[in-house]
Amino acid sequence: TEETIVEPSETEQDKPLDSIEETIEVSPIIEVQEENHEEQLEEQDEEDSTDEVEEDETENQDVEEENENQQATFHQKFIEETQQIRVQMNEYEDELTDLSDGVEKTNKLLNFVLGFLILVLLIVIGFIGYSIWRLGGF
């Protein structure tokens, strides 16, 4: 762009300021200034985006560290709870074994009593049958 400066003529000197401004071309200077301003804005945007990327990376690292800490804490709690459950299961297993032994002993005793009662019933039925036969019933 070429800059052209127009020298005011004598008649133009008598014109008011507004009309003199019309004769001077200022637009190339403004365009250069606008281009410089746009370049500065682009550089600023690039710097800002670089800063944002660095901040995002830092935040991502912080989030990853926090996730790792949470996972480690969760893993530790999981192990502790698993150990507690194993202890409870061992206690329940011992109690069930004791209960099973008690039921087994009771079952043997009841079987003996039931066998004895069946034997007594057979003896009573046999005695009644013998008594009826002896008295000459059949």
Q: Give the tens place of pLDDT for each residue, 71-100.
A: 888 899 999 999 999 999 999 999 999 999
Amino acid 117: pLDDT: 98
Amino acid 26: pLDDT: 47
Contact 27, 5 (CB under 8 A): no
Amino acid 136: pLDDT: 79
Contact 12, 20 (CB under 8 A): yes
Amino acid 121: pLDDT: 98
Contact 29, 3 (CB under 8 A): yes
* Cβ contacts of 29 within 8 Å, gap of 6 or more: 3
Is the pTM for the entire model greater than 0.85?
no
Query: Which parts of the chain sit beneath pLDDT 70?
Result: 1-37, 45-55, 137-138
Contact 6, 21 (CB under 8 A): no
CA 84, 85, 89, 90 dihedral sign is: negative
**Separation of alpha carbons 49 and 100, rounded Å:** 73
Contact 3, 28 (CB under 8 A): yes
